[in-house]
């Protein structure tokens, strides 16, 4: 019985590790802009669209001027709102850069050109001072 339990446990650990490895490899393929790189891109009107994927409460506190807002948990069902921006690069941002990577992957899977702001709005605010 101990051998069966160990096999099941090791199988579960293997599946979890495989999941995180695939996620890690996929997120490495997403373009990530530093705050200074994004600021330079934003200086060319129409080059990129900013998408805030944080919650409504987070956005009420602060946001990057000119950004659209679709929380990550609503993104899949609200993709049609971004259809008119399909030819532009959509740069997603969140608080620290993690959710924005997930959002960028969702958009890429749907045929959009998407990227992420490395470090999120926290790094953006730090570098914009």
Q: What is the pLDDT of residues 30-72, one digit of tens each?
A: 999 999 999 999 888 777 999 999 999 999 999 999 999 999 9
Nearest to 71 by CA among 43, 39, 106: 106
Provide the pairing of β-strand 113-117 with 89-93.
parallel
Q: What is the largest CA-CA distance in the chain?
A: 66
Q: What does the alpha-carbon distance between residue 40 and residue 32 come to, in Å, rounded to a whole number?
A: 14
Q: How many CB atoms lie within 10 A of CB 80?
A: 7
**pLDDT tops 60 at residue 19:** no
Q: What does the alpha-carbon distance between residue 6 and residue 24 come to, in Å, rounded to a whole number?
A: 27
Transcribe 22-33 into DSSP letters: HHHHHHHTSEEE
Average pLDDT over residues 101-113: 95
Q: By three-state DSSP, how is residue 96 classified?
A: coil
Average pLDDT over residues 17-38: 74
Number of domains in the chain: 1
The CATH code of the domain that includes 102 is: 3.40.250.10
Residue 105 lies in a domain: yes
Residue 5 lies in a domain: no
Per-residue pLDDT band for 15 (boundaries 50, 70, 90) equals confident
Q: Which domain holds residue 100?
A: 31-127
């Amino acid at each position: 019985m101990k051998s069966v339990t160990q096999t099941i446990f090791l199988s579960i650990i293997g599946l979890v590790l495989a999941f995180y490895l695939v996620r890690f490899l996929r997120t490495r393929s997403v373009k990530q802009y530093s705050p200074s790189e994004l600021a330079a891109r934003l200086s060319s009107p129409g080059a990129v669209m900013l998408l805030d994927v944080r919650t409504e409460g987070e956005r009420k506190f602060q946001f990057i001027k000119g950004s659209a807002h679709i929380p990550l948990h609503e993104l899949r069902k609200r993709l049609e709102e971004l259809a008119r921006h399909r030819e532009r690069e959509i740069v997603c941002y969140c608080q620290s850069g993690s959710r924005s990577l997930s959002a960028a992957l969702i958009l890429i899977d749907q045929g959009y050109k998407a990227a992420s702001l490395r470090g999120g709005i926290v790094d953006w605010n730090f570098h914009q001072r």
